Structure 1
Amino acid sequence: MMDAAVTPAGDDRVLPFAVEALDVRGRVASLGPSIDTIIARHAYPAPVSRVVGEAVVLTALLGSALKLDGRFQLQTRTDGPINMIVVDFDAPGRLRACARFDAARVEAAMAAGETTTGELLGHGHLALTIDQGGTMTRYQGVVALEGQSLEEAAHQYFRQSEQIPTLVRLAVGEAMGGGDHAWRAGGLMVQFLPRSSERMRREDLNPGDAPEGYEPAAGPGEDDAWTEAKFLVATVEDHELLDPTLTREQLLYRLFHERGVRVFEPLPVEESCRCSSDRILAMLKGFSPEDRADMVGDNGRIGITCEFCSRHYDIDPADVAAAADAG
């Protein structure tokens, strides 16, 4: 545990924190070289890069809560110009991501000025999959995407799946300097976790199909501590989440110094793909001999390119057949 006002800066890390006076816990992320590597490797158009960056930093915030052998995946499938995003987080801090998009539709959206995250994703769903490893049960939460931002989708996920009052802020941008540019991303997540579960109660949602004239009973309303925490987080601006000269500790101190904020050991993250020749062989041997034969190119080899890291594998069909025969 460290003093939030004096700890040195650092990119590519997630910093857990607690504001005990408000019964709030959270994490704040700063991604530099890791997100720049992911985005630059694919040469996505700028609007696509920004949405991918938002998905990656959201995944880092959520996945960093896993145990050492856990895995977290964020995936979107939608009808918008960006029709799919996949982000994998392998604990304790390995990230990889890729996206599929319709280049013509993205270009048209840019020309029309329709480049918000909701406009680019469109309608479909967001799936968040948690695999704690070992004998733990695999869990998946699904949120409908109906033109909202990823921040709003995250809020909806926590309302319906975790029932924990949660607020998420995401920011992605390009840092310029010396004629060069690099992508950066930052994120902040706070959750209201009082010792007494009674303090987390909210008014019930309107049932929608209730008889005409029905009025749901009023609940206790929102807790004052959570109201204050949300107000403070709402003051955070994008440039503060992206500024490489502003440490995450300094940002938290700005927000919560009057209440007292404690920070814990930062969790380093890095761009890292888990593809390998062995994994490619294991995947290929699952195909029938006829299907594998159809994959052979003019050079007599099977060419596979990883969608996440763009690494190309040149596989000898004889090696695949031997692996299949070996079981």
Structure 2
Amino acid sequence: MTHGQRIAWDDTVLPFQLDKSDIRGRFARLDGTLNKVLAQHDYPAAVEAAVAEMALLTALIGQTIKLRWKLSLQVRGDGPLRLIATDYFGPSEEGEPARIRAYASYDADRIKADAPHFPQIGKGYFAVLIDQGDGMTPYQGITPIAGGSLSNCAQTYFAQSEQIPTRFALVYGESHIPGEVAEWRAGGIMLQHMPKASPLMANEGGTGEAGVLQPEDILEGEAAENWSRVNILLDTVEDIELIGPQIAPTDLLVRLFHEETPIAYDAQAVSFGCTCSEDKVRQSMSIYSAKDIAHMTTDEGNLTADCQFCGAHYVLDPSTLGFEAESVNEQSQ
């Protein structure tokens, strides 16, 4: 098997429908994209795993947003793993890849590199933000950190905020192939049932941790039976089937759900991409006065800014920044 054949389905998200059960889903595999995301920083192993899980969740959830929209996921906690932030930028045009970026902030003195990452987040929240563009109010939903994994937090978010039963099956880690450099691989399936009506509304509380809604609180009757049956089928998936590369996603969907009549649609390519620029740094500085800018200036007489996502380093002339930039320039002439 050649390298090209081995990664034919990598860095893609495949949407599908299970017609018999009225369930939609997405299948994602990340390879080069995930490696580029992680290569921007020298994270401890536990932080790398957390970023990998969030990047995979972002790819699966982000595939549903429209062209030119942005989806952001954010986790904040009071533990040594303080922050994980990801962005998914919808394609600018049909046929173009979506872009993903991610970074984490952590306490290097307290983080346990070889321990599981989720407990190191501590207490906090999982947030989803959708930016529809200029002139539109961003949507934001928040749910508490709970459930033992970031994927469980995402499932809780959809049940609690959207009342959409959701299930994730994820696997991620470093792939060690003899004779090759170790690289990160990730794969996962996301399932969602779209109920016509929920028997239990959000303001009544649910049966989950801290009273959040669970799928069994939302579904009943035939819909509940369909959801249970499909989840039992998903439980049979093996890690190697999710990350590949030996089995194609379309073949795996048939193996798992052949009695549910799976229909696959066009796959969406994803790649690493950052939108930072000097112009955006200047725009972010436009709210500050010359006095404020002076406090941010280095001993060398410059103002510097670093992108937390891609590590880009910007060095700017303070006299050209802030809402008083023109008057500063006039005074210097």
> Taking structure 1 as the reference length, what is the TM-score of the superposition?
0.84
Give 1:106's aligned residue.
111
Query: Structure with the greater relative contact order (CA < 8 A, sep ≥ 6): 1 or 2?
Result: 1
Q: Which amino acid aligns with 1:133?
A: G
Q: Which amino acid aligns with 2:235?
A: A
1:39 aligns with 2:38: yes
Task: Give the direction of change, closer, same or farther, for the CA distance of 1:100–1:161 in structure 2 (3 Å limit).
Answer: same
Task: Give the direction of change, closer, same or farther, for the CA distance of 1:147–1:260 in structure 2 (3 Å limit).
Answer: closer
RMSD over aligned CA atoms reads 2.8
Using the TM superposition, give the Cα deviation of residue 313 of structure 1 relative to its aligned residue in structure 2, in angstroms: 0.9
State the distance in 2 between where 1:58 and 1:73 align. 11
Give 1:169's aligned residue.
169
1:229 aligns with 2:234: no
State the distance in 2 between where 1:82 and 1:263 align. 37
Cα-to-partner distance string for 1:168-220 (whole Å, 9 max, x where unaligned)? 122211112324111122221111236xx25x647984699xxxxxxx9xx65
Give 1:156's aligned residue.
156
1:94-243 to 2 correspondences below 5 Å = 94-107=99-112, 110=114, 115-133=115-133, 135-146=135-146, 148-177=148-177, 178-193=179-194, 197=196, 201=199, 205=206, 220=221, 223-243=224-244
Moved more, 76-85 or 316-325: 316-325
Structure 2 counterpart SS, 1:73? strand
State the distance in 1 between where 2:247 and 2:35 align. 19
Give 1:317's aligned residue.
318
Give 2:20's aligned residue.
21
Cα-to-partner distance string for 1:215-249 (whole Å, 9 max, x where unaligned)? x9xx6586221111111112223332222333222
State the distance in 2 between where 1:207 and 1:312 align. 44
State the distance in 1 between where 2:315 and 2:208 align. 57
Give 2:214's aligned residue.
none
Q: Which amino acid aligns with 1:172?
A: Y
> Taking structure 2 as the reference length, what is the TM-score of the superposition?
0.83
Residues 122 and 147, structure 1, Cα contact 8 Å, conserved in 2: no
Residues 52 and 98, structure 1, Cα contact 8 Å, conserved in 2: yes
1:245 aligns with 2:246: yes
Give 1:290's aligned residue.
291
Q: Which amino acid aligns with 2:124?
A: G
Using the TM superposition, give the Cα deviation of residue 321 of structure 1 relative to its aligned residue in structure 2, in angstroms: 5.7
Q: How many residues in Structure 1 have an aligned counterpart in Structure 2?
A: 304
Give 2:212's aligned residue.
none
Q: Which amino acid aligns with 1:258?
A: E
Cα-to-partner distance string for 1:82-110 (whole Å, 9 max, x where unaligned)? 10011011112111111000112113x63
Using the TM superposition, give the Cα deviation of residue 326 of structure 1 relative to its aligned residue in structure 2, in angstroms: 8.5
State the distance in 1 between where 2:171 and 2:277 align. 32
Using the TM superposition, give the Cα deviation of residue 72 of structure 1 relative to its aligned residue in structure 2, in angstroms: 0.8
Task: Give the direction of change, closer, same or farther, for the CA distance of 1:174–1:102 in structure 2 (3 Å limit).
Answer: same
Structure 2 unaligned spans of 5+: 1-6, 92-97, 210-216, 329-333
Q: Which amino acid aligns with 2:224?
A: D
State the distance in 1 between where 2:207 and 2:267 align. 41
State the distance in 1 between where 2:222 and 2:82 align. 39
State the distance in 1 between where 2:208 and 2:63 align. 35
Q: Determine what percentage of the aligned residue pairs are the same residue.
A: 39
State the distance in 1 between where 2:120 and 2:46 align. 8
Residues 173 and 242, structure 1, Cα contact 8 Å, conserved in 2: no
Moved more, 158-167 or 236-245: 236-245
Cα-to-partner distance string for 1:65-96 (whole Å, 9 max, x where unaligned)? 01102111111110112100110111121111
Structure 1 counterpart SS, 2:145? strand
Task: Give the direction of change, closer, same or farther, for the CA distance of 1:206–1:156 in structure 2 (3 Å limit).
Answer: closer
Task: Give the direction of change, closer, same or farther, for the CA distance of 1:236–1:206 in structure 2 (3 Å limit).
Answer: closer
State the distance in 2 between where 1:124 and 1:207 align. 17
Structure 1 unaligned spans of 5+: 1-7, 209-215
State the distance in 2 between where 1:133 and 1:276 align. 18
Q: Which amino acid aligns with 1:32?
A: D
Residues 50 and 118, structure 2, Cα contact 8 Å, conserved in 1: no
Structure 2 counterpart SS, 1:223? helix
State the distance in 1 between where 2:273 and 2:146 align. 31
State the distance in 2 between where 1:130 and 1:244 align. 32
Give 1:3's aligned residue.
none
